[in-house]
């Protein structure tokens, strides 16, 4: 059998990439940087950073073949849907921020799906359901990723979709070795959704999910990708794929139907921003949680964070309290803006942050906090980023929610449908209350940084409610603590859990602070003395990728952190 060019070209992809080995024992970690696991990657023509090295290499192949940053991002996303189905896939949603170098503009894409028309509050009330379940047929909403691909491609693509999906189709048919972190998550997903029809046939053809280093093939997904490449996005939403999803969901007692898929369309949106000490940090507006990162940064800007020092109890306390304030607003206000008025401009304003900051006691942890009283009128994930030689940059995040999603694995299509509708509230007075054709609250958020009107950093950090916390910590690490792009992602993180939720639950007893092992014991004890409850390191600290543009030298910097299997590489 003739071997695909996509499988043999990756051996030379490291050529032209600048790397530095941290082998000199005289250096503190890497080049004197205490928090970095390795040096940044530096390259002049293009850069890709994803959570799976083979996906990164595919992105570089696409760039070298003349593809745009968007082409490469779609190719990498397709590869991750195959190689890291524990965090994403075409059964899920997508968000992106794109820097268009020719037009000098930053644009956003909300490619999240809506709830089925039959998914109403009355349905759950009539069936005596108090909470939307996390798995099974009920939490499935329309998957928006494929339409997201074609929206991005129609505006910024250069290569044919057949060429973009060809690498993933080849790997799906010929196989790829499963990497370590992904193998671990395969096991946990098998335990909770492995019993649903179609899952074992797709992901356990030999009786178990693949283990680290095992070659895995998904010919079903290869065939689905081929249909999409040949016939376009309508094949997924109106053609044979949509009909098979419809039939499967009807068999399982689900609410998602053919008409819901056929009615789907993505939305181009304008990113929103705040300035943090001279950097303009951009996020997408709700139904996602991106503006929570901006709210956290606005509150933190009122403190001398640099003087506090990284890892100090003073800094960690201040950060956690700022997070609590933002998340109370997140729980009350963030929802589909087609259904409710979300006061975005007020929430991310400096004046609002100044008022909210007054609620923070510098010496004591809060146990409960109110959301802001704003008067309204009438009422596991993957992240990747790619940059090309023309200066275009893409910040893209995609997810099934809860790892592999709902467990609903339709027919022989080779992927799992998401369970994003679990995040709806079942409270009629809540902004995020369930309704037919409504987009549920979303956790996945891409980010971008501009400085002096020029693109600076495309970055993201996957991981549920950790994402806005992580975004804020990356920015603080770089600006206040002087870390470089790689170090900012490798440094130990804070994850506060237990805030009020968009599903309607409220914070009790101040929540729990989870700290990675890099923080000193003395700081932990001080936090406890201030009234914080410290929990075990829960492993939910996210996964970070980033690309930074150095305009003066005309080069890209890339970073991929140590918590995932990922790789940043350039040429």
For the stretch 229-245, pLDDT in tens is 999 999 999 999 999 99
Is the pLDDT reported for residue 19 higher than 90? no
Helix, strand or coil, per DSSP, at residue 345: helix
Query: In this predicted structure, what is the pLDDT of residue 285?
Result: 97
Question: Rounded to the nearest 5°, which phi and psi values hold at 534?
Answer: -100, 130
Q: Are 408 and 482 in contact (CB under 8 A)?
A: no
Is the pLDDT reported for residue 224 higher than 70? yes
Q: Are 563 and 381 in contact (CB under 8 A)?
A: no
Mean pLDDT of 161-167: 98
Query: In this predicted structure, what is the pLDDT of residue 540?
Result: 79
Distance CA 398, CA 461 (A): 11
Pick the CATH number of 290-333+342-378+494-540 from 1.10.246.130, 1.10.1840.10, 3.90.226.10, 1.10.357.10: 1.10.246.130
Distance CA 316, CA 143 (A): 37
Mean pLDDT of 551-559: 97
Mean pLDDT of 16-25: 30
Percentage of the chain exceeding pLDDT 90: 85
Of the two residues 570 and 517, the one the predictor is more confident about is 570
Is the pLDDT reported for residue 16 higher than 80? no
Residues, the chain = 571
Query: In this predicted structure, what is the pLDDT of residue 35?
Result: 84
Query: In this predicted structure, what is the pLDDT of residue 539?
Result: 63
Q: Are 354 and 274 in contact (CB under 8 A)?
A: no
Query: In this predicted structure, what is the pLDDT of residue 6?
Result: 31
Query: In this predicted structure, what is the pLDDT of residue 538?
Result: 64
pLDDT per position as a tens digit, 512-539: 999 998 899 999 999 999 999 999 776 6
| 469-to-229, 274, 474 alpha-carbon distances in Å | 37, 15, 9
DSSP secondary structure string for all residues of 372-432: P----TT---EEEEEE-TTS-EEEEEEE-STTTTTS---TTS------GGGG-B--TTSTT
Per-residue 3-state assignment (H helix, E strand, C coil) for 181-200: HHHHHHHHHHHHHCCCCCHH
Report residue 54's pLDDT band, with 50, 70 and 90 as the boundaries.
very high
Residue 266, beta-bridge partner list? none
- Nearest CA-CA partner of 186 in 216, 224, 145, 146: 216
Mean of per-residue pLDDT scores for the chain: 91
Query: In this predicted structure, what is the pLDDT of residue 371?
Result: 82
pLDDT per position as a tens digit, 349-379: 999 999 999 999 999 999 988 886 554 333 3
Is the pLDDT reported for residue 67 higher than 70? yes
- Nearest CA-CA partner of 131 in 358, 471, 430, 417: 430
pLDDT per position as a tens digit, 73-100: 999 999 999 999 999 999 999 999 999 9
- Tokens in use for 100? 């268009």
State the residue for tokens 């309607």.
504
Query: In this predicted structure, what is the pLDDT of residue 223?
Result: 98
Is the pLDDT reported for residue 26 higher than 70? no
Query: 381 catalytic, yes or no?
Result: yes
Q: Interhelix angle for 313-333 vs 466-479, to 10°? A: 140
DSSP state of 384: E
DSSP state of 288: B
Look up the pTM and report it: 0.92
Bridge-based pairing of strands 534-535 and 512-515 is: parallel
Within 10 A of 177 (CB to CB), how many other CB atoms are there?
13
Would you list the domain boundaries of the chain?
A: 5-267+383-423, 290-333+342-378+494-540
Bridge-based pairing of strands 454-462 and 447-451 is: antiparallel
pLDDT per position as a tens digit, 379-437: 368 999 999 999 999 999 999 998 899 999 999 999 999 999 999 999 999 999 999 99
Q: Are 159 and 71 in contact (CB under 8 A)?
A: yes
Among the ranges given (162-171, 311-320, 461-470, 544-553), the one the predictor scored with the smallest mean pLDDT: 461-470
Distance CA 42, CA 570 (A): 7
Report residue 323's pLDDT band, with 50, 70 and 90 as the boundaries.
very high
* Chain mean position to CA 315: 26
The one catalytic residue in 56, 120, 318, 381 is 381
Distance CA 564, CA 568 (A): 12
Q: Are 417 and 91 in contact (CB under 8 A)?
A: yes
pLDDT per position as a tens digit, 437-479: 999 999 999 999 999 999 999 999 988 899 999 999 999 999 9
Is the pLDDT reported for residue 136 higher than 90? yes
Within 10 A of 126 (CB to CB), how many other CB atoms are there?
9
Label residue 8 exposed, middle or buried (CB < 10 Å: 0-12, 13-18, 19+): exposed
Is the pLDDT reported for residue 30 higher than 70? no
- Nearest CA-CA partner of 494 in 525, 458, 526, 535: 535
């Amino acid at each position: 059998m003739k071997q695909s060019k996509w499988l043999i070209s990756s051996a030379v992809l490291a050529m032209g990439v600048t790397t530095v080995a941290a082998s000199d024992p005289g250096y503190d970690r890497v080049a004197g940087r205490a928090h970095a696991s390795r040096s940044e990657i530096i390259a002049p023509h293009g850069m890709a950073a994803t959570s799976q090295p083979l996906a990164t290499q595919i992105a570089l192949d696409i760039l070298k073949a003349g593809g745009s940053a968007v082409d490469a991002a779609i190719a990498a996303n397709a590869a991750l849907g195959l190689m890291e189905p524990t965090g994403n896939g075409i059964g899920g949603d997508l968000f992106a921020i794109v820097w268009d170098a020719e037009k000098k503009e930053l644009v956003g894409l909300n490619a999240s799906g809506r709830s089925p028309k039959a998914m109403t509050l009355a349905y759950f009330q009539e069936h005596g359901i108090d909470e939307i379940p996390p798995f099974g047929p009920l939490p499935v909403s329309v998957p928006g990723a494929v339409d997201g691909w074609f929206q991005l491609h129609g505006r910024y693509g250069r290569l044919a979709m057949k060429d973009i999906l060809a690498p993933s189709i080849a790997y799906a048919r010929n196989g790829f070795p499963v990497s370590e972190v992904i193998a671990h998550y395969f096991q946990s997903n098998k335990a909770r959704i492995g019993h649903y029809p179609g899952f074992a046939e797709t992901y356990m053809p030999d009786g178990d999910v693949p283990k680290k280093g095992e070659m895995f093939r998904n010919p079903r997904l290869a065939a689905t990708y081929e249909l999409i490449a040949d016939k376009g996005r309508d094949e997924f939403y109106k053609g044979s794929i949509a009909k098979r999803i419809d039939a499967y969901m009807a068999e399982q007692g689900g609410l998602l139907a053919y008409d819901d898929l056929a009615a789907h369309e993505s939305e181009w949106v304008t990113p929103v921003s705040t300035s943090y000490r001279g950097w303009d940090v951009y996020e997408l507006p709700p139904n996602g949680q991106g503006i929570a990162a901006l709210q956290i940064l606005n509150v933190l800007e009122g403190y001398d964070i640099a003087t506090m020092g990284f890892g100090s109890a003073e800094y960690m306390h201040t950060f956690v309290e700022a997070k609590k304030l933002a998340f109370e607003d997140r729980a009350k206000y963030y929802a589909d803006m087609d259904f409710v008025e979300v006061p975005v401009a007020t929430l991310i304003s400096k004046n609002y942050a100044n008022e909210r900051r007054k609620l923070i006691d510098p010496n004591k942890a809060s146990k409960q906090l109110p959301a802001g009283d704003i008067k309204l009128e009438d009422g596991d994930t993957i992240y990747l980023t790619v940059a090309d030689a023309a200066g275009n940059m893409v910040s893209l995040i995609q997810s099934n929610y809860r790892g592999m999603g709902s467990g609903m694995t339709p027919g022989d299509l080779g992927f799992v449908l998401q369970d994003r509708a679990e995040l709806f509230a079942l409270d009629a007075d809540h902004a995020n209350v369930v309704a037919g054709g409504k987009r549920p609250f979303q956790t996945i958020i891409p980010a971008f940084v501009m400085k002096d009107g020029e693109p600076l950093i495309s970055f993201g950090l996957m991981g549920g409610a950790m994402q806005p916390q992580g975004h804020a910590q990356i920015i603080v690490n770089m600006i206040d603590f002087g870390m470089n792009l790689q170090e900012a992602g490798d440094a130990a993180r804070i994850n506060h859990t237990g805030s009020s939720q968009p599903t309607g639950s409220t914070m009790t007893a101040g929540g729990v602070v989870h700290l990675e092992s890099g923080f000193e014991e003395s700081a932990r004890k001080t936090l406890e003395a201030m009234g914080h409850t410290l929990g075990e390191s829960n492993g939910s600290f996210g996964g970070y990728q980033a690309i930074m543009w150095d305009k003066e030298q005309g080069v890209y910097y890339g970073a991929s952190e140590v918590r995932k299997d990922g790789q940043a590489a350039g040429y």
